[in-house]
């Protein structure tokens, strides 16, 4: 899953892809590099990011989705917390909702997913993007994330979302300390018991610099290490800025596994 941010406040892309044309071209390039899904987002969910209005978010993402729908052959996912944005994006040709706000209490998003038959990424987050990194606390982070998945899978079913449409994501960095992230990464295998595909996002995330003391621009080697080990633990999808490098790492790991 290649990341296309259409946001001026995103940390890694820093306004680089604000122009719709640049975002579209970036998406096309990621598909050429081997992305199987393009994830388009118009609101940064990085820690302390400022929320954007529905109108602003629509203006950011819709021209990009409309253009990509006629141009790329891989599915488009919409990264949004807002049901109205998801609905508009699905109408315009997106087919997956990447809902990092899956801990919501109202089920408007789920009803849209149910009605449209869209794919749905159920990601765990403790708190909200504004508050999540202030003081995340767990007794047993992997156990609590697993309980969250089970509870939400039940509620999704009640909302009419088919089990087969759902992908699970532990939400690295979303209300988690370095220690929590490492415990989740080390324990990814347990989530395969839930019998849904797993998605993981470690690309350029700050926990890498917290562990290694490297600059933000130097996080790729550690992200690739996480990716390969996570693939061996059963993760099937990776959300990344660095599609070419990620595809190479996964292909090499697959070739080695095939020669065992």
Q: Is 205 a catalytic residue?
A: yes
Active-site hit among 152, 165, 205, 219: 205
Look up residue 34 and give its two tokens: 């081997």
Q: Give the residues across from 237 on adjacent strands.
A: 199
Candidates 45, 103, 227, 246; binder of ligand 8Y7 (CB under 6 A) is 45
DSSP class of 189: G
Distances (CA, A) of 38 to 25, 29, 31, 93, 108: 12, 11, 8, 12, 24
User: How far is C-alpha 36 from the chain's CA centre?
Assistant: 13
For 102-123, letters b (16+ CB in 10 Å) and e give: bbeeebebbebbbebebbbbbb
Spatial distance between the Cα atoms of 131 and 107, rounded to a whole number of angstroms: 22
Burial of 222 per CB tally in 10 Å (0-12, 13-18, 19+)? middle
At 100, which helix (H) or strand (E)?
A: none
Contact letters for ligand 8Y7, residues 213-242 (x by CB under 6 A): --------------------------x---
Q: Between residues 57 and 79, which has the closer beta carbon with respect to ligand 8Y7?
A: 79
| Nearer residue to ligand 8Y7 within complex by CB, 229 or 260 | 229
CA angle at residue 137 from 82 to 143, to 5 degrees? Answer: 85
Q: Note whether 129 binds ligand 8Y7 by CB under 6 A.
A: no
C-alpha distances out from residue 49 to 28, 137, 205, Å: 27, 21, 15
**Residue nearer to ligand 8Y7 on the CB measure, 38 or 172:** 172
> Smaller CB distance to ligand 8Y7: residue 90 or 257?
90
Of 201, 223, 226, 246, which one interacts with ligand 8Y7 (CB under 6 A)? 201
Distance CA 245, CA 256 (A): 17
Stretch binding ligand 8Y7 (CB under 6 A), from 29-37, 168-176, 177-185, 243-251: 168-176
User: Which of the ranges 39-47, 59-67, 102-110, 188-196 carries the binding residues for ligand 8Y7, by CB under 6 A?
Assistant: 39-47
Site for ligand 8Y7 in 15-34 (CB under 6 A): none
Q: Is residue 100 near ligand 8Y7 by the rule CB under 6 A?
A: yes
Residue span binding ligand 8Y7 (CB under 6 A) among the ranges 56-64, 85-93, 165-173, 182-190:
165-173
- For the CB of residue 188, give the shortest distance to ligand 8Y7 in the complex, in Å: 13
Residues contacting ligand 8Y7: total by CB under 6 A: 15
Q: Tell me the catalytic residues.
A: 205, 239
Residues within the interface to ligand 8Y7 (CB under 6 A): 41, 45-46, 79, 98, 100, 121, 123, 169, 171-172, 199, 201, 205, 239
């Amino acid at each position: 899953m290649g990341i296309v941010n259409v946001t001026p406040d995103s940390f890694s892309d820093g306004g680089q892809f604000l122009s719709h044309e640049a975002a579209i071209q970036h998406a096309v390039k990621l598909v050429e590099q081997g992305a199987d899904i393009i994830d388009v987002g118009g609101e940064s969910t990085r820690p302390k990011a400022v929320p954007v209005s529905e109108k602003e978010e629509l203006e950011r993402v819709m021209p990009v989705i409309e253009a990509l729908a006629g141009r790329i052959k891989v599915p488009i996912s919409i990264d949004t917390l807002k049901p109205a944005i998801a609905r508009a994006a699905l109408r315009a040709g997106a087919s997956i909702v990447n809902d990092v706000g899956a801990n919501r209490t109202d089920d408007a998003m789920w009803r849209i997913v149910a009605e449209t038959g869209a794919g749905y990424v159920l990601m765990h987050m403790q708190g909200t993007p504004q508050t999540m990194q202030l003081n995340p606390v767990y007794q047993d982070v992997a156990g609590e994330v697993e309980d969250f998945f089970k509870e939400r899978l039940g509620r999704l079913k009640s909302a009419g979302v088919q089990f087969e449409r759902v992908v699970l994501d532990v939400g690295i960095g979303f209300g988690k300390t370095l220690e929590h992230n490492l415990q989740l990464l080390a324990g990814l295998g347990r989530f395969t018991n839930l019998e849904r595909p797993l998605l993981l996002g470690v690309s350029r995330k700050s926990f890498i610099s917290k562990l290694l003391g490297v600059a933000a621009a130097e996080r790729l080697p550690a992200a690739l290490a996480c990716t390969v080990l996570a693939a061996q633990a059963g993760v099937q999808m990776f959300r990344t800025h660095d599609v070419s490098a990620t595809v190479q790492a996964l292909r090499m790991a697959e070739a080695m596994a095939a020669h065992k």
